[in-house]
Structure 1
Amino acid sequence: MALLDEPGHRAMYAHMLSVQGRTLYDILLYRLKEAEGGVFLECDSTVKDSILKHLKVYKIRRKVNISPCSELCVWAVLSQQDKLGQEFSQPGLSSPDKALVWEADPRTQQMGWRLVLQSDVDPLKIIASCKKGDTEEYHRHRYSIGLPEGVKDLPPGVAFPLESNLVYMQGISFSKGCYIGQELTARTHHTGVIRKRLMPVHLSSPVEHLEDGATLLTQSGKPAGKHRAGTGELGLSLIRMAHAKEVLTLRSSDDTTVTLEASVPDWWPEDTPQPKDALLG
């Protein structure tokens, strides 16, 4: 895992874990150009206050200032493919001095780049080749490639980091010193047994009124996992790998039933253990 104090690395991804080894918060960390020794932390805005409180617990007596940065804004710059299917290279900035951070998203190349600016700076004035999208487009892109983010996809105290593909997103080190939640995480990694994974799914039709953690069932009615979150017909589900190649069903609280199919993301390593073929009864 690239550390922020290593030359050439100014962005990294990580999870804060509970003592039981479950994810509390997923975060992105950046080394700001103008802040000597300072680190900017990006998180789900709905848990900002909880993260601030969590960080201050471990501050102890160190001379560290922890405060929100309402004067800064994070932009995701997503890449598109050309006619040959190749990803475009990183766009140039007309005013690079205004970018406090301009780095590749550390999780996967398919998430493009992260741009941190002062809140009053219009990103389109320094990246002329881009057009401004909306939050819905951003989340649809994430779900289409199977990348989790925030408390809906990674519910605090529920999600396990390795089942959430933290290793594939360069978000964990197995050589660094001790950290909270290390014991279970390291043991799971070294045994190499991960029976469930968070995977991108495509629903037969959009579903409303889904309960958190709605159960996925096989065609024969066996539990196959839990649905996490999504938008429209796209989403993420925690699926038992033994059933990942099967057509699964999902029922909403208003008794609407849809089918869904999971897929293996292109950005997962080639040596990733593949889902088993469904057994024919």
Structure 2
Amino acid sequence: MSHGRTYTRLDQRGVIAVGGPEARSLLQRIVSNDVDRLTTGQAIYSALLTPQGKFLHDFFLVDLGETLLLDCEADRRDDLMRRLTMYRLRSRVTLEDATAAYAVFAVRGDGAAATFEIGEPAGAARPAFGGALFVDPRHPGLGLRAILPADAGAATIAKAGFEPAPVADYETARLTLGIPDGSRDITPEKGFLLENNFEELHGVDFAKGCYVGQELTTRTKHRGKIRKRLLRVEFDGAPPPPDTPLEADGAEVGEMRSGMDGQGLAMIRLERLAEARAKNVAIMAGNRPVQVRVPDWISLAEPADV
């Protein structure tokens, strides 16, 4: 993995352009974060949920002035467009699949934000070069994201002194930090935001008004009992396939999500993790031992000694 100033084109990402005089009010009514915080100088990370509070899509929102750009999973953008269209009804909102026009990049390395005259705070943004660049709102260790014209974005970033790097470099950084990657790690129509660390990743706002799925999300927050969490795991060799059970002494402790050589993410049952550690019982994926790691940006309140 390169430790220099690099950029990676994320072809697994798509872009939806949202416009019209009621674009903000529509999104504010349906997404988990506070769209009123979205400005040309501030990007946000957010999610769309079912009415029962279950995960459907996550995405980034940036403000270009007259248009908002939504950075989402490319393979699932048709479903997201369909759901946004369903909620639009007669609102004065336009929705356009802009994936052919824009590319999404991860830009990393010392001084990346300063190079593009962007502040350091999470989500700090700047419209530029026909698109926008912003500090990843989830974690500063992920560097910048850029949504730029597909035909010129790479050259623009390279001209600023960054070298191309493979997607594997970005994946290594993401997994080392323990950051989920959309539906690869959060099962649509099953996952809940707080189990998947959306509060710590700045993807949900508890002070805004109602949105789709808000009731259950808020109730979970106030009860303070989150029994499962998406955590880092380490192992030898290639990752166990997604959904592989993680077991300790015959009891299921968790389930694998995404991964690459030596590390990955898994949904972990906290009480069973604590029990396995108290008994000094190995956690296994098949016949391979797995070590569960809690990223330093996550605070686990219950149980206390996991």
With the shorter chain as reference, the TM-score category is: 0.7 to 0.9
- Say whether 1:231 aligns with 2:260: yes
Once the two structures are superposed, residues 123-167 of structure 1 have per-residue CA deviations (whole angstroms, 9 ceiling, x without a partner) of 354453321112222122111110001211112112111000000
**Pair 124,143 (structure 1): closer, same or farther in 2 beyond 3 Å:** same
Amino acid at match of 2:136: D
Residue of structure 1 equivalent to 2:210: 178
Q: Does 1:273 align with 2:273?
A: no
User: Percent same amino acid at aligned positions?
Assistant: 30
The offset of 1:272, in angstroms, is 4.3
Note if 1:114 corresponds to 2:114: no
Correspondence for 2:44 among 4, 12, 22: 12
**Counterpart among 229, 232, 240 of residue 197 in structure 1:** 229
**1:122, 1:180 → 2: CA distance?**
35
- Paired residues of 1:3 and 1:9 also in contact (CA < 8 A): no
Name the CA distance, whole Å, in 2 between partners of 1:102 and 1:63.
27
Tell me which residue corresponds to 1:159. 191
SS at match of 1:116: strand
More helix by share: 2
Indicate the residue corresponding to 1:133 in structure 2. Answer: 165
Which stretches of structure 1, 4 residues or longer, exceed 2 Å deviation after superposition?
A: 1-10, 122-129, 242-247, 271-278
Cα distance in 2 for partners of 1:261, 1:170 equals 27
Provide, for residues 159-184 of structure 1, a one-character-per-residue CA deviation record: whole Å limited to 9, x for no partner.
11100000001111111111111121
- Aligned partner of 2:93 in structure 1 is 64
The verdict on how the C-alpha distance between 1:214 and 1:56 changes in structure 2, with shifts beyond 3 A counting, is same
Q: 1:71 to 1:200 in 2, by over 3 A?
A: same
Q: Which residue of 2 aligns with 1:102?
A: 133
Shift of 1:207: 3.8
Maintained 8 Å contact 1:200/1:265: yes
CA distance in 2, matches of 1:216, 1:153: 15
Cα distance in 2 for partners of 1:266, 1:181 equals 28
Pairing 1:236-247 to 2, within 5 Å after superposition: 236-244=265-273, 246=277, 247=282
Take 1:125 and 1:31, find their aligned partners in 2: how far apart are those partners? 20
Aligned pair in 2 of structure 1 residues 92, 274: CA closer, same or farther (>3 Å)?
Answer: farther
The corresponding residue for 2:289 is: 259
Q: Counterpart amino acid of 1:73?
A: A
What is the alpha-carbon distance in structure 2 between the residues aligned to residue 16 and residue 134 of structure 1?
Answer: 29
Query: Match of 1:163, SS?
Result: helix
Q: Could you report, residue by residue, the CA deviation over 1:193-228 in whole angstroms, capped at 9, with x for unpaired residues?
A: 0111000111122245x2x4221111x221111111
TM-score with structure 1 setting the length = 0.83
The number of aligned residues is 257
Instruction: Quote the residue 2:113 is aligned against.
Output: 90
Which whole-Å deviations, capped at 9, do the CAs of 1:214-269 have from their partners, x for residues lacking one?
21111x22111111121222111011223446441112xxxxx211112121333x
Q: Distance in 1 between matches of 2:34 and 2:211?
A: 16
1:74 Cα shift?
Answer: 1.0
Please give the per-residue CA displacement for 1:63-84, whole angstroms capped at 9, x wherever unaligned: 211011120111111235xxxx
Query: Where does the alignment leave 5 or more consecutive residues of structure 1 unmatched?
Result: 81-87, 252-256
**Counterpart residue identity of residue 154, structure 2:** P
Match of 1:73 among 93, 97, 103: 103
TM-score relative to the length of structure 2: 0.77
1:242 partner SS: helix
In 2, the alpha carbon distance for the partners of 1:51 and 1:42 equals 11
User: Paired residue for 1:85?
Assistant: none
Amino acid corresponding to residue 260 of structure 1 in structure 2: V
Secondary structure of the residue aligned to 1:57 is helix
Asked whether the 8 Å contact 1:4–1:11 carries over to 2, the reply is no
Question: Contact 1:25–1:151 (CA<8 Å) still a contact in 2?
Answer: yes
1:49 maps onto 2:78 in alignment: yes
- For the 8 Å contact 1:79–1:111, the answer to whether it is kept is no
Q: Which amino acid is the alignment partner of residue 129 of structure 1?
A: G
